[in-house]
Amino acid sequence: MTDLRGSSKLHINFLSDVSFLHEPPATVQNCIFCFCDDSKNTSEKLFLSEEENSIAAKFHFEKDKILYESTHHTLRKVLAKYLHVPPLEIIFKTIPSGKPYIDTPDSEIQFNISHSREKFFIALSETSVGADLEYINPSFDFESIIDNYFLAAEKKQIIQSKNPTEEFFKLWAIKESVLKFFGRGIGEMIKKINVAEKKLDINHPHELFLTAFVKDGYAFSVCAGLPFEVCMVRS
């Protein structure tokens, strides 16, 4: 049984995306550096690979296409600052379970991305990281699915909270960030993650550290294998 611990070094710093992209922090060592922004239909040249352009072209709804393009374009711009290479020279690959990574031998930077509705969320670190972003839909009937994904203690925490819908999405974001840390799918492990009791029923040699918070109608969560500070950038 692995412990899930709250990060004791949480620091959230809201800056402008423009200042960040021109002068990013010198290192992501001992820090989870996060970038959150709204998707935009822009006239700026997009840094997307042929494969990414092909994926974007397959979206049925324009808003989903713009969200995908904004997320991956920004990811390349952010990573290029740390890797010191042009954005289009960055090569991504995935582990067998689908979690992406940078195919650059001399880089220790790891990342994770998430998007929900009109926002995207990018986390960078020098350790494995999982990040999730969830739009808090006030009309969502969470009670119809709560038994499928949450344990008894978690359901009690949600139902007895001041805002059950918000608490549902916050706990969901925490579970997703842990799953994405491991590169695993919802069906495989979601009930092995006990957020209420801060326990993870999976063989992992170390504690996991996480933080979760709600802002502007969205739930955010970040999970990592080391204590960390969170520095967030948003326009």
| More confident call, 7 vs 143 | 143
CATH class of 2-234: alpha beta
DSSP letters of 127-168?
A: S-EEEEEEE--TT--GGGTHHHH--HHHHHHHHTSSSHHHHH
Q: Which amino acid is at 149?
A: Y
Consecutive H or E run containing 68: helix 62-83
Which of 43-52, 56-65, 199-208 shows the lowest mean pLDDT across its residues?
199-208
The mean pLDDT value for 94-119 works out to 87
Please check the confidence at residue 18 and state whether its pLDDT lies above 60: no
pLDDT in tens, 166-201: 999 999 999 999 999 988 877 768 888 888 888 888
Predicted pLDDT at 235? 41
User: Residue 208 above 60 pLDDT?
Assistant: yes
Could you state, in order of their start, the residue ranges of all structural domains in the chain? Answer: 2-234
Comparing 20-29, 30-39, 136-145, which segment has the lowest mean pLDDT? Answer: 20-29
Average pLDDT value over all residues in the chain = 82
Query: How many C-beta atoms lie closer than 10 Å to residue 165's C-beta?
Result: 17
